[in-house]
Amino acid sequence: MAITAPESTATVTLTIDGHEVTAPEGATIWQAATAAGIDIPVLCHDERFDPVGVCRMCVVDVGAPAFAASCVRACEDGMQVKTSTPELERSRAMLTKLLVSDQPPRERDPKQTTTADNELIALAERFGLAPDGTALPQASGRGVDLSSPVIAVDHDACILCDRCVRACDDIQGNDVIGRSGKGYDTHIAFDLSDPMGASSCVSCGECVAACPTGALTNKPINNIPIRPRTELDAVDTVCPYCGVGCALTYYVDREKGAIAYAEGREQPGSHGRLCVKGRYGWDYAASPQRLVVPLIRREESYPKGALSADVRGDMAADGESNDHGTASNGDPSRKHKGGKRGRKPGGLVDYAEVLPHFREATWEEALDVVARRLTEIYTAGGPGAIAGFGSAKCSNEEAYLFQKLIRTGFHTNNVDHCTRLCHASSVSALFEGIGSGAVSTTFGDIKNAGVAIVTGSNSTANHPVASTFFKQARRNGTTIIYVDPRADKMADHADIYCQLKPGTDVAFYNGVMHEIIRLGLTDDEFIRARTSNFEALKKTVADYPPERAEQITGVPADTIRRVARAWGGAKAGIIFWGMGISQHTTGTDNARCLIALCAITGNVGKPGSGLHPLRGQNNVQGASDMGLIPMFYPDYKKADDPAVRARFEQAWGTADLDPNKGLTVTEIIGSALKGGVRGMYMLGENPFLSDPNINKVRKALAKLEFLVVQDIFLTETAEFADVILPASSYLEKDGTFTNTDRRVQLGRKVLDSPGQARVDWEVVQDVANRIGLDWHYETPRQVFDEMVTVIGSYQNLSYDNLGSTGKLYPNPDPARSDGTVVMFTEKFNTNDGLAHLVPAEWLPAKELPDERYPYVLNTGRMLEHWHTGSMTRRSYALDAIAPRAQVYIHPSDAAELGLEDGDMARVSSRRGSIELATKVSHREARGNCFIPFHFREAAANLLTIDEIDPFGKIPEFKFCAVRIERADG
C-alpha cells in the first residue's frame, strides 16, 4: 500500500524485522511496515482516521523500555523495529483474551447476525482463543439498542476503540456518536444517549463499516442473513442512485439469489464512503412488484386515462391502509392479487386496481405492436409525431442506443430525459460561457480550495457523500459559504450562511461581484487574457451595491460584503451548485452569475478552483454526453449544424437525420396536448410525478395515440400506456455510468432479472430491428466501442482500461492516469478560447405570493428517497426511515396556521391541492414551505407551475405560490 500521511519528500531509513525500509518523513511505523508487506495487527486503527493508539494491539519493540504503538509512532532514521517477538505476541494474546472474555455470547440475539468478519474474533482465532461462551458475567451489562431499522448496536461487544466515533465525525462529518458513562459503564452514545433510531443518525452505516467487533452491525434486510464474506459472492459495481457515483461491492448470497449487504469500495471520488441509499437501499430490485412479463392494454380499457381511482379523482378515501397488490416474482403466469378498489392510496400504484386493464403478452407480440404502432404514427404524422424520453438511470450504452433509435429510426430529434428537469439551465449557461456542460473540476478538489460556495444545493441530502468532502475540507481550513433559502444541514457546516429569499440569486451574486470589483479583488490578468465582455458585466453589477442586494435578497449587506471578501481574498475557490440555482425561470441567469464570479476572480483552471453543477441522477452526465437531448448529438454536437448532421449521417449510415433541434421534455408534453406528438417511447421515466403541473401531463399522456413504457415497476405513467415492457433493474446488467465528476465507471451485473424482464439495450435493439434498422450489437462493450468513435471526450477509454475504479474523462492516457481533474488550464472550449461573461439583471419569479396564496413553495428531494420513489419506496430500509409525505413549515407560520408536528395540512396552488403531514421545521424561512416530490399520495408537482427558463427550458420547480391550511379546517 502507498504511504500517504506526510506531504514531505524527505525520507527516513529504518530496519523492520531485519529488512531495510525507506519511508517518507513523518510516516508511522505501521504505515512503513504495511507498505513493506509486514502485517501488524490493529484494532483501534484505520488508515482513514487520525490514529489514537488506544488499543495497544499494534505495539512493536523499538528497543525502548516500553513497547510503542506503531499506528502513532513515527519512523526515525536508523530505528530498529521488531514487530513480532514472543513478548509482543504474549502481550497481544493477553489483550485479546481480556477483550474476548468481556464479549457477550455471540448468539444471544438473532438480529445480531453480524459479519463473521469480526476483527476481534479473527484475532482470537489467531491466538487460539476462539470464544467458548465463557464470557465474564458483566459482559451483558450495557445492553443492546435495536431502535434503528438498519443497524443493531450491542454495547457489550464494544471495546471503546472509537473507530465508530471517528468514522461518524471525521469521515462523514455527522458528529452523532460520542461517549457516555463512567468506568465500566462507559459506552458509545448517540447524541445525548438517545436510542440510535431516535437520534440525529442518518444511517450512513460508516460506523458499522468501521467497527472491528460485533458492537455495530448491519441488520439483515428482507431476512437475507448476513453470512461471512467468504461464503458470499462479491460484485464490484457503482451505487445506482445519485450523481456522486460511489463505488461499492455487493455481497451476494447465490443460494438465495439476493444481496446480503453492501460495502463502500475505494475509488478516488468516494473513498469507500456511502450514504443510506447506497448502503441499505438496494432491495427494491427484489421487490415482488417487479414487472415480469410484457403487458398490452385491453380493448375495453380504452379510451385511455389514469387507471388508479385516486389519480382519476373518483375515489372515496375510506381510511384503510393499502397493502399493494403484488405480482408473484419470476412467474410469468402469476396472478396479480391485492386490495380492494377505493382504498386510501398508500404511496404506490395499486397493482390490483391497474393490472386488470392489461393482458399478458409474449415479447414477440408486444414488440411487434410497439414497432407497428410507432411506424404507423410516423408514416401518418411525420417525424414530429414521435418522441422519446430516455433515462438517466440507464447506462451510457443504453442512452446512446435510445437516442440513436429515435434519431435514425424516426428521423426526429424529439428525444430528451430528466436533465431537462435538473441542470438544463446550468448546461445552457456553461456552454455559452465556457463551451462545455461538464464540471470544470471534481468535488474532491475542494481539498485544494481556500473557499467554496455551496449554493442552491441541499448536498447532505442530495449528494451525501460529496457533502462529506465539503465538511472534511472545512475541518482542514476551507471556508464554506452556504447560500440557500433553506437552512438545511449544510448551513450547520458553513462559516457563512446566507438565507436569501427564494428566486433572488441573481441579485445576490451581482451584489457580491459589485463588492469584489469595488474592493479590487478581481484577477485582472485573468480577466484580460481569458475572458470577454467584462466591461458589460461591470456596468450591470454596478447597479447592485450590497444595500440594494439586501433589499431584494434579504441577506444583510454586511454579510454580502463578507462573502465578497472571503471569495475574492482566497487563493482558490470552487462553486458547487444544485437545483436551487437551476430550477428557476431565471436558472440560466443564475448560472451565468456563478460563471462570471469564478471568471473575474481567476477561479477556473487551477487546482481548488472551478465550477461544479452537482449532477442529480447516477448517469445524468453520461446520458447527456450520449446525446439524449434534443439540441445535441453525442458529445454536445449541435443538432442543427449541417456539418455535424453530415458527420453523424456518415457514422450511423443514414441519410436523413432531422435538420432541426427537437422538442424538450416540457415541449413534448405541450405538443402532445395539441396533438402534435402522438406516439411516445418512454424508457424508465415517470413524467406523471416528475414533471411540473401534472394535471397537464396527465391530459397529454391520455391524449397520446400510442405510448410504450419500458420500466421495472408499474409507474403512474404506465397507467396511460398501450404496451408495458418489463425492463431490467440497474443490478441486472453490465454497462458504464458517468458521475458528476466526469468519472466513467463500469456497473456490473449482480443479479438475474426476474421472470421475462429483459436488459434495456437489447429491447431497444429489438425495436430498432423491427422498424428496419438492422442493428447487430452483441454486448454493451461493442456499443461502448462505437460510442467512443463519435464522442471525442471519451476517446481512449475502453472496457479494458476503466478498471475497478473507472476513469475521469478527458483522459489522454488511461493506462497511466486517472484522468483530468482540472479542466481549462490554458483555454476554454468556446470558439475564441475565452470565457464569455454574460451579465444578468434580476427578475422576479413568475408566480408571486398574494393574499389568496401567501406562501412560497419550494420542492426537492430528501436523503432517503429518490425522484418519483419507485425504487426507494420499495426499499425496506428507506421506506421504514421516511415513510410519509410532509410539508416543512417554519414554527411561527405553523403556529399562525394552528398546525403542529404531524397534523394534516392541505396545501393548494392555482393548479391543485394535496394533503400531507406537517413538519414544523426551524430550517425554513417564514413565508416559505418545502415539500419533497417523491410521494404520489401528496404529489408536489400537482402544485408546481410549468413556466420554463427561456434558454434551458427547465421548469420553475423551486417557486410557486401556495395556500396552507389545516386539512380538517
457 binds ligand SF4 (CB under 6 A): no
Nearest approach, Cβ of 506 to ligand SF4 (angstroms)?
29
Integer CA distances (angstroms), 179 to 166, 189, 195, in order: 12, 5, 14
Which of 242, 260, 889, 914 is close enough to bind ligand SF4 by CB under 6 A? 242
Nearest approach, Cβ of 588 to ligand SF4 (angstroms)?
26
Nearest approach, Cβ of 110 to ligand SF4 (angstroms)?
21
480 binds ligand SF4 (CB under 6 A): no
Stretch that binds ligand SF4, among 234-242, 433-441, 622-630, 687-695 (CB under 6 A): 234-242
Q: For residue 723, which phi and psi values (nearest 5 degrees)?
A: -135, 140
960 binds ligand SF4 (CB under 6 A): no
Coil vs helix vs strand at 682: strand
Nearest approach, Cβ of 146 to ligand SF4 (angstroms)?
14
Which of 79, 224, 246, 709 is close enough to bind ligand SF4 by CB under 6 A? 246
Nearest approach, Cβ of 168 to ligand SF4 (angstroms)?
3
144 binds ligand SF4 (CB under 6 A): no
Whichever of 246 and 604 has its CB closer to ligand SF4, that residue is 246
Stretch that binds ligand SF4, among 13-21, 275-283, 851-859, 882-890 (CB under 6 A): 275-283
- Per rule CB under 6 A, count of chain residues that contact ligand SF4: 25
Residue 934's closest CA among 715, 720, 721?
715
Whichever of 244 and 790 has its CB closer to ligand SF4, that residue is 244
What is the rounded distance in angstroms from the CA atom of residue 555 to the CA atom of residue 801?
49
Whichever of 153 and 555 has its CB closer to ligand SF4, that residue is 153
Integer CA distances (angstroms), 615 to 7, 106, 463, in order: 32, 44, 9
277 binds ligand SF4 (CB under 6 A): yes
Coil vs helix vs strand at 929: strand
Query: Which string of x and - marks every residue 162-201 that binds ligand SF4 (by CB under 6 A)?
Result: -----xx---x-x-xx-----------------------x
Whichever of 461 and 857 has its CB closer to ligand SF4, that residue is 461
Stretch that binds ligand SF4, among 15-23, 33-41, 237-245, 761-769 (CB under 6 A): 237-245
What is the rounded distance in angstroms from the CA atom of residue 191 to the CA atom of residue 201?
8
Which of 202, 439, 669, 721 is close enough to bind ligand SF4 by CB under 6 A? 202
The residue number with the shortest CB distance to ligand SF4 is 278
Nearest approach, Cβ of 118 to ligand SF4 (angstroms)?
17
Question: In sequence order, which residues have a C-beta less than 8 Å from that of residue 108 and are 6 or more positions away?
Answer: 140
What is the rounded distance in angstroms from the CA atom of residue 378 to the CA atom of residue 772?
13
DSSP string for residues in 297-347: E-GGGPSP---SHHHHT------PPP---B--TT-TTPPPB---TTPPP-S
The angle subtended at Cα 918 by Cα 913 and Cα 922, nearest 5°, is 125
Asked whether 31 and 3 are in contact (CB, 8 A), the reply is: yes
Query: How many Cα atoms occupy the beta-carbon half-sphere of 541 within 13 Å?
Result: 27
512 binds ligand SF4 (CB under 6 A): no
Asked whether 261 and 218 are in contact (CB, 8 A), the reply is: yes
Whichever of 413 and 740 has its CB closer to ligand SF4, that residue is 740
What is the rounded distance in angstroms from the CA atom of residue 613 to the CA atom of residue 579?
9
Stretch that binds ligand SF4, among 30-38, 91-99, 204-212, 670-678 (CB under 6 A): 204-212
Which of 173, 383, 464, 869 is close enough to bind ligand SF4 by CB under 6 A? 464
Nearest approach, Cβ of 874 to ligand SF4 (angstroms)?
16
Nearest approach, Cβ of 574 to ligand SF4 (angstroms)?
18
Whichever of 671 and 875 has its CB closer to ligand SF4, that residue is 875
245 binds ligand SF4 (CB under 6 A): yes
Residue 145's Cβ-count burial label (10 Å; 0-12, 13-18, 19+) is buried
Nearest approach, Cβ of 21 to ligand SF4 (angstroms)?
34
Q: Which amino acid is at 954?
A: I
Q: DSSP letter at 472?
A: H
Residues in region 889-948 near ligand SF4 by CB under 6 A: none
What is the rounded distance in angstroms from the CA atom of residue 830 to the CA atom of residue 862?
37
Nearest approach, Cβ of 44 to ligand SF4 (angstroms)?
16
Q: Per the structure block, which three cell numbers stand in for 534? A: 467584462
What is the rounded distance in angstroms from the CA atom of residue 735 to the CA atom of residue 748?
7
Q: For residue 208, which phi and psi values (nearest 5 degrees)?
A: -65, -45
Question: In sequence order, which residues have a C-beta less than 8 Å from that of residue 167 and are 6 or more positions away?
Answer: 46, 48, 49, 206, 207, 209, 210
278 binds ligand SF4 (CB under 6 A): yes
377 binds ligand SF4 (CB under 6 A): no
Nearest approach, Cβ of 199 to ligand SF4 (angstroms)?
7
Nearest approach, Cβ of 163 to ligand SF4 (angstroms)?
10
DSSP string for residues in 476-514: TT-EEEEE-SS--HHHHT-SEEE-PPTT-HHHHHHHHHH
Nearest approach, Cβ of 862 to ligand SF4 (angstroms)?
12
Provide the Cα torsion 235, 240, 243, 249; round to 10°: -20
Name the strand (E) or helix (H) holding 277: helix 276-280
Whichever of 237 and 585 has its CB closer to ligand SF4, that residue is 237
Other C-beta atoms lying within 10 Å of the C-beta of residue 883: 12
Which of 58, 69, 121, 275 is close enough to bind ligand SF4 by CB under 6 A? 275
461 binds ligand SF4 (CB under 6 A): no
Integer CA distances (angstroms), 800 to 735, 788, 797, 807, in order: 13, 13, 8, 11
286 binds ligand SF4 (CB under 6 A): no
Whichever of 275 and 327 has its CB closer to ligand SF4, that residue is 275
Nearest approach, Cβ of 150 to ligand SF4 (angstroms)?
8
| Chain positions contacting ligand SF4, by CB under 6 A | 167-168, 172, 174, 176-177, 201-207, 239, 241-242, 244-246, 274-275, 277-278, 464-465
